[in-house]
Chain A
């Protein structure tokens, strides 16, 4: 149980393109979803927290107009990197949780984004 599917797994696109990444909880309802960014050989850096039906809460230093997050249902959240540039190239990972404080986060398999 507790499967989180993230799509696509790999994106290569030109500078200036907008890229959408989907995160789905397949077998549970995710009240809360999280988006992380991970640089090589580093730990996960939380970008934003989204609750179903509400605006996302962004961490300090993360541009909300650059990284658009939508959490329209209890099983789907999307991250759109708008007008992507080479410095946005990274490994993006989502996680999902039921919202109960005693339940863990479950992670997707990540999206490797490369902006040329």
Chain B
């Protein structure tokens, strides 16, 4: 079993839809949780960075962490074609500098 599980998709939604992206993890030591967006042939771009359970909102993006269920989510409201990319979840424990990544979910937002 992988430490971090993420559905690779592809996930196709119409413009304006609410998108829900999820990751589950098995290591209870993970404390810091990140979502990155990666466009084709580009490096990952940090979208959200959270610590501890709860919600964090930034514009159209909301990150949610449920440590008791070992489950994190990224919600995208009013999705746009420019949101079409691969979304990677990543996490680390309190002392390690290395990240553990999910496999990434490919999202396609159609007109």
> A1-18, CB under 8 A of B: which get 1 and which 0?
010101000000000000
Q: List 8 A-B contacts (CB under 8 A).
A: A2-B46, A32-B97, A43-B101, A91-B41, A93-B43, A104-B32, A105-B90, A107-B36
Residues of B bordering A, CB below 8 Å: 32, 34, 36, 41-46, 49, 51, 88, 90, 92, 94-99, 101-104
In contact, A107 and B97 (Cβ under 8 angstroms): no
In contact, B43 and A109 (Cβ under 8 angstroms): yes
Chain B residue numbers with a CB within 8 Å of A26 are none
**How many A-B pairs fall under 8 Å by CB?**
54
Label chain A's interface by main secondary structure: strand
Closest 10 CB pairs of A and B: A107-B43, A109-B43, A110-B43, A107-B44, A104-B49, A43-B101, A43-B103, A93-B43, A108-B43, A32-B97
In contact, A105 and B99 (Cβ under 8 angstroms): yes
Q: Taking the complex as formed, is A44 at the interface, i.e. its CB lies under 8 A from any CB of chain B?
A: yes
A 89-116 contacts with B by CB, 8 A:
91, 93, 95, 97, 99, 101-102, 104-110, 112
Known contacts A43-B101, A43-B103, A107-B36, A101 near B42 by CB under 8 Å = no
Interface size on A, residues (CB 8 A): 25
**In whole angstroms, how far apart are the Cα atoms of A12 and B104 in the complex?**
28
Q: Taking the complex as formed, is A74 at the interface, i.e. its CB lies under 8 A from any CB of chain B?
A: no
Chain A residue numbers with a CB within 8 Å of B43 are 4, 6, 93, 95, 107-110
Chain B residue numbers with a CB within 8 Å of A42 are 103
In contact, B46 and A106 (Cβ under 8 angstroms): yes
Q: Taking the complex as formed, is A46 at the interface, i.e. its CB lies under 8 A from any CB of chain B?
A: yes
In contact, B97 and A97 (Cβ under 8 angstroms): yes
